[in-house]
Structure 1
Amino acid sequence: MIVNATDLKNNLGKYLRAVEREDVIITSNGRKIAKLTVYTEEYAADPALTNETVKEKAEAYSLFPREATFEEFLQLSEHGEDRYEYIDGVIYFLATPKTTHQQVLGELFGNFYNWFSGKKCRPLLAPYDITLKRNAENINIVQPDLMVICDLEDKLNEKDSYMGVPSLLVEILSESSRGKDAVKKLDLYMSTGVKEYWIVNPFNREVTLFLFENNDVLKNTTYKNNETVSSYIFEGLKVDLKSIF
């Protein structure tokens, strides 16, 4: 059986069951990159087969998202070069952004940088880990595309990592992150003290703003066409859509 990496990622359970009947060959951009096969004692006894399996698994980054403990996530993220997020016990692989995504991010950051210049609050760009806790047991680590932090110096730990909650977060949708940004992150940010969340949709050329209060959505507004986005919590922070799309 041959499947592409995206199909495997979206239907991992299905193919883990299918591998009991036949090997599953994984492709990416039309190229065969890895193979899922049933584990047997033959693999445990043969170093050559074991090494080959490890190599194939290392290439198959598409096995994410997957459930893991927080300790497993830390081990993966601290000892690898790839970028990951950890939300409600699930690890998500962060793909390399496309050109449109980076252009929109650059324009937005330029607007934010100019407006916040000389002010207490600071805009920062990904990659930058943000730790958000629903409770003591539910720890999440995300990398928003753009964030505004108003207590940076007060919330840095001994490792120079920020451990507070940003006032405003921005996510720019991509094909691989639509569902996570629009649903999972919306709920996470709403539940952990973020005040304002921007979802930027370059496909529809729209920006939707959410104002959170008491773990709920107090207001939300969608801007499109040539409208001007106006922040809820930072009076005077405005972005013309025609300047970012």
Structure 2
Amino acid sequence: MIINSTELQNNFGKYLMLAAHEDIIITRNGTEIAKLTAVRDASTENTTMMEQVREKAQEYSSDGKKATFEEFLELQKESEERYEYIDGEIYLLASPKTAHQIAITELFGIFYNFFQGKKCTPMVAPYDIELRRSQESINMVQPDIMIICDLEEKINEQDYYKGVPSLVVEVLSNSTRRKDMIKKLDLYMSCGVNEYWIVNPENKEVTVFLFEEKNITNNTTYKNNETVQSYIFEGLSAEIRRIFRV
């Protein structure tokens, strides 16, 4: 990731957290002047979720070429496959495995019951969410689960939602690990999502991030017999044993 020195000074906490996942190159007047990078202990081999960001996980299906948003929409129209569009790159969404789908099913059931009679609505993929870093920088993603609290106000005439979910859940797979833990974390944080759950079936862990003013202000990892707790929805919780029952 490349940022200028002013952006680093204004959002140091955000980029300090992101540096645990990838190197941050700092520029001044267009010239690279420094690099913010994580300290890595070569003598230990921890397998926690946050450290797996450093693995050379297979990039989820992308040819690495930049495309316009219009080209992405045209591809979507012509294909029956599912795609996402993040920072100019088009990604094919692969078919998920059983543990991935069970985690989604369990969490959606918990969310559905919790939000009965409340304003917010849980939604499940496939469901396009359009996120803008700026007026020109448009992204299109399909989170595994999302909690939407302004559905009625943000539905357009074509019946598409054009707001920002309050809470987003992504369930990791080997092919999406790097995307979900780096690219999507930054995208959701930058575009106004308040809370992000990263669900890891391999390690049977859930990490919950709280975003405020486009920065990470808190995060907690839950595992073993613990119960995941939402930061923004009081009383919303999920037992780890129930999420990962296989």
Asked if TM exceeds 0.5, the reply is: yes
Q: How many residues align?
A: 185
Q: Which has the higher helix share?
A: 1
Pairing 1:209–2:239 present: no
Taking the aligned partners of 1:219 and 1:195, their CA distance within structure 2 comes to: 11
Identity of aligned residues (%): 66
Give the TM-score normalised by structure 2: 0.74
Deviation per residue, 1:60-80 (Å, 9 max, x gap): x95635321111000001221
Taking the aligned partners of 1:199 and 1:63, their CA distance within structure 2 comes to: 21
The residue matched to 1:95 in structure 2 has which SS? coil
Listed as ranges, the gaps of 5+ residues in structure 1 are 1-60
Q: Is the 8 A contact 2:62 2:91 kept in 1?
A: no
Change (3 A) 1:108 1:163: same
Taking the aligned partners of 2:65 and 2:150, their CA distance within structure 1 comes to: 33
The residue matched to 1:131 in structure 2 has which SS? strand
* Corresponding letter in the other structure for 2:185: L
Change (3 A) 1:63 1:200: closer
Q: Is the 8 A contact 1:172 1:200 kept in 2?
A: yes
Q: Higher relative CO (CA 8 A, sep ≥ 6), structure 1 or 2?
A: 2
Pairing 1:131–2:146 present: no
* Corresponding letter in the other structure for 1:191: S
Q: Which residue of 1 aligns with 2:242?
A: 243
Taking the aligned partners of 2:94 and 2:61, their CA distance within structure 1 comes to: 10
Q: Is the 8 A contact 2:61 2:91 kept in 1?
A: no
The residue matched to 1:169 in structure 2 has which SS? strand
Q: Which residue of 2 aligns with 1:111?
A: 110
Q: Is the 8 A contact 1:66 1:92 kept in 2?
A: no
The residue matched to 1:170 in structure 2 has which SS? strand
Q: Which residue of 2 aligns with 1:170?
A: 169
Q: Which residue of 2 aligns with 1:16?
A: none
* Corresponding letter in the other structure for 2:162: M
The residue matched to 1:197 in structure 2 has which SS? strand
* Corresponding letter in the other structure for 2:153: D
The residue matched to 2:153 in structure 1 has which SS? helix
Change (3 A) 1:70 1:119: same
The residue matched to 2:198 in structure 1 has which SS? strand
| Larger radius of gyration between Structure 1 and Structure 2 | 1
* Corresponding letter in the other structure for 1:229: V
Q: Is the 8 A contact 1:199 1:207 kept in 2?
A: yes
Deviation per residue, 1:76-133 (Å, 9 max, x gap): 0122100000000000110011111111100010110011111110100000000000
The residue matched to 2:234 in structure 1 has which SS? coil
Matches within 5 A, 1:126-165: 126-165=125-164
* Corresponding letter in the other structure for 1:114: N
The residue matched to 2:175 in structure 1 has which SS? coil
Listed as ranges, the gaps of 5+ residues in structure 2 are 1-59
Change (3 A) 1:174 1:117: same
Taking the aligned partners of 2:200 and 2:89, their CA distance within structure 1 comes to: 24
Taking the aligned partners of 1:149 and 1:62, their CA distance within structure 2 comes to: 28
The residue matched to 2:117 in structure 1 has which SS? coil
Matches within 5 A, 1:1-245: 64-245=63-244
Taking the aligned partners of 1:120 and 1:95, their CA distance within structure 2 comes to: 32
Q: Judge which range, 95-104 or 186-195, deviates more.
A: 95-104
* Corresponding letter in the other structure for 1:91: I
The residue matched to 1:174 in structure 2 has which SS? coil
- RMSD, matched Cα: 1.2
Taking the aligned partners of 1:65 and 1:123, their CA distance within structure 2 comes to: 32
The residue matched to 1:153 in structure 2 has which SS? coil
Which runs of at least 4 in structure 1 moved beyond 6 Å after TM superposition?
A: none
